Amino acid sequence: MRAGPLGDSSLFARRLGDTEHGFFAARDYLAGAGRPRRLADRSRHECVLYRTASGTAVWQVDGPAGPEEVTVRGRSAADDHEFVSAVVQAGVEIGLGPEPVFAPAVQAGLLERVLPRYAKRIAPLHIVWPSRQFEPAAVTMLRDALAEAIPRWIGGHTSRVG
């Protein structure tokens, strides 16, 4: 699976759809730290950082006025969206991540989407594979099952910015 644009290669690819990252926080966190009202407010909140070790990150998002960015800081960093969701659910920091990953916690009332008019679009999502020649039937079946299930999963958890 590959999120983002594909470069030139000899790989075969099947587009599954587009994903969107939103901002999420636990109700306990918001009760103690306050609710961000504007994107610039994010710089005053602790945030779970994704794929950085510097303690700060620049988040580039699309909002009502077009592309914007904010520099955020945080005590936690991860390279796994499930871990980011777990930290956010613990009420430690605000997180930015894929809506489908956070959706179960939102539906359970554990998390809220904050700044819903801002999102980071990650597009598109593809399944890629090297060749169909000599491909085991199990691999073909898995790829076909993912190609059917993932667009429904993504489609059920995306929202529009604006």
Q: Is 88 exposed, middle or buried (0-12, 13-18, 19+ CB in 10 A)?
A: buried
More confident residue, 110 or 9: 110
What is the distance in angstroms between the CA of the first residue and the CA of the last residue of the chain? 28
The rounded distance, in Å, linking the Cα atoms of 55 and 89 is 20
Contact predicate 99/159, CB 8 Å:
yes
pLDDT in tens, 44-61: 899 999 887 788 889 899
Q: Report CA-CA distances (Å) from 115 to 17, 62, 70, 93, 128.
A: 23, 11, 13, 15, 33
Q: How confident is the model at residue 126 (pLDDT cuts 50, 70, 90)?
A: confident
Q: Position of tokens 């990953």?
A: 101
- DSSP code per residue over 58-69: EEEEEETTEEEE
Whole-number pLDDT of residue 102: 92
Q: Give me the CATH topology for the region 2-155.
A: D-Maltodextrin-Binding Protein; domain 2 (3.40.190)
Tell me the domain boundaries of the chain: 2-155
* Residue count of the chain: 162
pLDDT at 159 over 70: no
Contact predicate 73/55, CB 8 Å:
yes
- Residues facing 98 on adjacent strands: 21
Whole-number pLDDT of residue 157: 47
The rounded distance, in Å, linking the Cα atoms of 32 and 25 is 11
Whole-number pLDDT of residue 155: 63
pLDDT in tens, 76-93: 888 888 999 999 999 999
